[in-house]
Structure 1
Amino acid sequence: MKKLIQSASLIGTTEIALVFVSIIRNKYLAVRIGPEGFGLYGVLNSFFIFASVFTASWLANATIKYIAEYQGNKESLQKLYNYTLSIASVSSIFLTLMFFVFQSIIKKYFLSSDVIFLYFALFNATFVFKSVNIVFANVLQGLKLIKKIVRIRIINSAIEFISIIIFVYFFDLTGFFISIVFSTIFSTIVYWSEIRKVFTTKIVIPQFGNRILKKLLVFGGAAFILNLLSMLSNYILRVVVLRETDLATTGLLQVSLVLMGMLGVVNRGSHFYFFPNVSRKMHIKERNSETNEYLRFTLLTSSFISVIAILFVPTLILILYSSKFLSLSTVFYWFVIAGFLANLANAFHTNMMGLGFVKSFTGIGIFGWAILVLTPIIAVGKYGISSVAMGYILSYLATIPVLYWYLYKIALLRIHIKVITCFLISIIMIGGAIYFMSSTLLLKLVWCLTSLGLASVMIKKDEYQRLYDMFRKA
């Protein structure tokens, strides 16, 4: 658990620091561009994230897995890097040109009449750089160069923040999209300055008979299907909400999903270590130990963060955005529950990918995707944006048992009784937070302290000092 906590503390601390930067940034943007501006950004961002499935996103997990697996084999690592970068670069350049040629059709059928050509063009101009950045980030994660990743993220966040303040001040909403172009290109330069110390960057023609490329394409092909469905679902969800409500409500959905992502700050830090680690060959006993420690750590951190988010969401919204977004406070607990389950499901998803169970993982993923999409399509008229969170919740509740059953049968994965106890305690903590979310400040504080006491039960007695030492040294 030592390396897990060290990675989680380093990445998590960085994430928390960056959250404070984003608080100021989002507050500034909320005042200057409002829900409508966030809605435009959400529609464009969803489309281009969806487009990235065809360039770099589908190679992400495969790159991390095989970079970790071939650790120490310099020649294989260089080939893997060359293939990944070449595929992402060429495909993103091609799509960028196609988007410019067919922008009117894309706007009519995939975006919104509110999206003007200038905003589309500025977003499209960043597409190649964003695709390359995905490759660079995945390579560094596969190599477990955590400190370099932290340094890059801090630099990029600072530049993004400064560019937003300057460009939005002078050009309002247009300035926001200009700042995206500037910060994305700068981010590529920063990533490349680190990558060039490890690899020689060049575009190559893929040799389809190469063993490494075959592995990359097989694993990436399965990931492509799941990423395609994931991004397609994000796009469909926003379109469904936009057509059933309005642009401002779509902006609220965008903010809800961003906040839900913020709740996974510590989990993302631990995942930086966990995925490359379970991608290597290991004994059943070691895999069980790693997975159970990861689950216990995830439950410990996610449950308490969820309690804070549910109890103090109005304050959180006012700090991060503005009073225009306060309508979220009555429904946001659904997104908190979805985020908690996402963190829990990640342990099983990651094991399936690390073990290379491509076909099974793909089938289960399609099953979950169907639930995720159908739920809001059916319920958005009655429940609004809450139906999106409900879709996530039902999807995770349906797929987590299936994933565990498969790992139980095939990989002999066993969940320890301590993890089950931690899960039950987490349910009590989150359930209590939902019950007290409309109560007085005093009762909320009392439940926070109670939850803190319950969370402490999840930590072994001999781990308190070890945790303190590891966080201090990380």
Structure 2
Amino acid sequence: MLKFLRKLIQQNILLKVSSVNTLRISVRIVCGLITSKLIAIYLGSSGMAILGDLRNFLNSVQSVGQLGINNGVVKYSAEYKQQKTKLNSLVSTSLKISFLTSVVLSLILFIAAPELNNLVFTNAFNFTRILRFVALALPIFTLNALTISVLSGLGDYKKVIYINIATNVLGVLLAAFLIIRMQVFGALLSLVFSAAIAFLIIAVALRKNRGYLITVLSLPIKYSILKKLASYGGMTLFSAIVSPWVYISIRQHIIAVDGLEKAGYWDAMLRLSDYYLMFTTTLLTLYVLPKLSTMQTRKEFKTEVFSFYKTILPLFGLGLILVYFLKIWIIKLVYNADFLQMNTLFIWQLSGDFFRVASLVIAYQFIAKNKFWAFIITQIISLSVIYFSSTLLVSEYGFVGASMGHLVSYIIYFLMLLVIFRKSLLKPLKGSTS
């Protein structure tokens, strides 16, 4: 049996990348579980909700600082892998323009921190200092993310994975120290300081490439490259800016209807969801997006999607079933008995996440083939559905309604994608037309 599995992995590149990625995901999940346990013990569910707001805000400003071009960088790094001049121009242009943008945004955030605090955390909390730390760290976040995007596009999976492993291990040690010493403020601070840790690890990992980086960064910004990245920036920025604020709004609605503690249970469910989604979402970024970017025909696209559905999606589905039946034990292990009320969220969240993964492998074609308006329209519909369905269902059923809205939105999103790509996925292909 083991011999058969080994042979299968060697013959299937998707499974091969998955097996290499498993170590990284395992380490990240363990680190995440440790952090979640510390938050549950020292901060409780209310602290979980506050951290959720900062995480959403961080995701939003990081994407703005990076101009949302990460997926474009992955695509063109893969495309220019054998074209050294174009690749160098891509690296130089993307790093320079994003770094300059993040510096400007950093200054704005630093000055506007008091107003942003009221917007993100409401008047009940004052974390202005944390938001100013976010502002100062933003350029570092930008450099880290774009460097990883270039390595992903070039197919340097192992280096990306090892960088992430080291970052997670050191990050959880820092988080443990700060949470124990400073409670909520320390937990918020650890999210920001993780950028500095990642930067140092990337610098060490790329120390042999210093000469190359100096040469590349001396190249001028290429406006032809910027033009190509612009539509990717538009796609990612829309989702990255709007989505976190949708979740902040849903969280604030839960607080208003059901209280801060219940909002913390919902956020704890989102954290668990992040853990078990890591494997598939990372695989999509590391392997599927670069692969789709190089494909020229509908036949290749259909083959890749159904390969994912036959190899990865069934394993993911089985994992979700296992999580559901072990939910009480998982809640006690990851958090503590005080969080048992969140067990009612599992069926809705797990079902929604299955449709989410099934959707994402198709939706990455929007990014790979630069289908700007199709991406924007489907995102507007999806985010509108999750916001309105969640708020309506929260008003009716309490905090459980937010996970119900999650399921509704991803079923609708999946059906939309099947309609849009019906010719490629559902109709038999007579020839290899693009």
TM score, norm. by length of structure 2: 0.88
SS at match of 1:279: helix
Q: Tell me, yes or no, if structure 1 residue 308 matches structure 2 residue 308.
A: no
1:230-278 deviation per Cα after TM superposition (whole angstroms, max 9, x unaligned): 2332222222223323322222222111111222233134312111101
**Within 2, Cα distance between the matches of 1:204 and 1:233?**
39
Question: Is the 8 Å Cα contact of residues 50 and 235 (structure 1) preserved in structure 2?
Answer: no
Give the distance between the partners of 1:338 and 1:161, measured in 2 at CA. 29
Q: Secondary structure at the match of 1:48?
A: helix
Q: Cα deviation per residue 1:108-142 (whole Å; 9 max; x = unaligned)?
A: 23322223333333344333322222212211111
May I ask how many residue pairs the two structures share in their alignment? Answer: 412
**2:24 counterpart residue number:** 14
What is aligned with 1:396? 410
- The farther-off stretch of 236-245 and 330-339 is 236-245
Structure 1: unaligned runs, 5 residues or longer: 417-474
Alpha-carbon deviation of 1:57? Answer: 6.1
Measured against aligned partners, the alpha-carbon deviations of 1:25-81 in whole angstroms (never above 9, x if no partner) come to 321222112222222211122122222232226112111111111111122112112
Classify 1:246/1:124 alpha carbon distance in 2 versus 1 (closer, same or farther; 3 Å): farther
Would you say the 8 A contact 1:11–1:266 is kept in 2? yes
Deviations 1:432-473 (A, max 9, x none): xxxxxxxxxxxxxxxxxxxxxxxxxxxxxxxxxxxxxxxxxx
> Once the 2 structures are TM-superposed, how far is the Cα of residue 195 of structure 1 from its aligned partner?
4.7
Distance 1:176 1:224, change over 3 A: closer
* CA shift in 2, pair 1:229/1:176, >3 Å: closer
Corresponding residue number in structure 1 for 2:419: 405
Q: 2:139 aligns with which of 128, 131, 138?
A: 128
> 2:262 is matched with which residue: 237, 240, 249?
249
Question: 1:337 and 2:351 equivalent?
Answer: yes
Match of 2:280?
Answer: 267
2-structure distance, mates of 1:266, 1:236? 28
Report how far residue 106 of structure 1 moved. Answer: 1.6
Letter in 2 for 1:258: R
2:228 pairs with one of 215, 221, 243: 215
| DSSP 3-state at the match of 2:155 | coil
After TM superposition, list the pairs within 5 Å mapping 1:98-109 onto structure 2. Answer: 98-109=108-119
Please, which of 66, 75, 83 is the counterpart of residue 56 of structure 1? 66
Matched, 1:191 2:213: no
How far 1:344 moved relative to its partner? 0.5
How far apart are the structure 2 equivalents of 1:380 and 1:204? 53
Describe the shift of the 1:277–1:224 C-alpha distance in structure 2 as closer, same or farther (beyond 3 A).
same
Return the match for 2:94 from 68, 78, 84: 84
Whether 1:235 aligns to 2:248 is: yes
Match of 1:430 in 2: none
* TM-aligned CA distance change 1:265 to 1:179, over 3 Å: closer
RMSD, aligned α-carbons = 2.3
Residue type of the alignment partner of 1:292: F
- Could you tell me which amino acid in structure 1 is paired with residue 226 of structure 2? L
Per-residue Cα deviation, 1:349-396 (whole angstroms, up to 9, x for no partner): 012322222222221221112111111122212222322222222222
Alpha-carbon shift at residue 215 of structure 1 (Å) = 0.8
CA gap 1:52/1:203 in 2 versus in 1, 3 angstroms: farther
> Deviation at 1:157?
0.9
Identity %: 19
Is the Cα contact below 8 Å between 1:241 and 1:384 reproduced in 2?
yes
Stretches (4+) displaced over 6 A:
none
For 1:188, the aligned partner's letter is F
Distance 1:334 1:415 in 2: 31
For 1:73 and 1:154, locate their aligned partners in 2 and report how far apart those are by CA, in whole Å. Answer: 30
| Structure 2 unaligned residues grouped into runs of 5+ | 1-10, 429-434
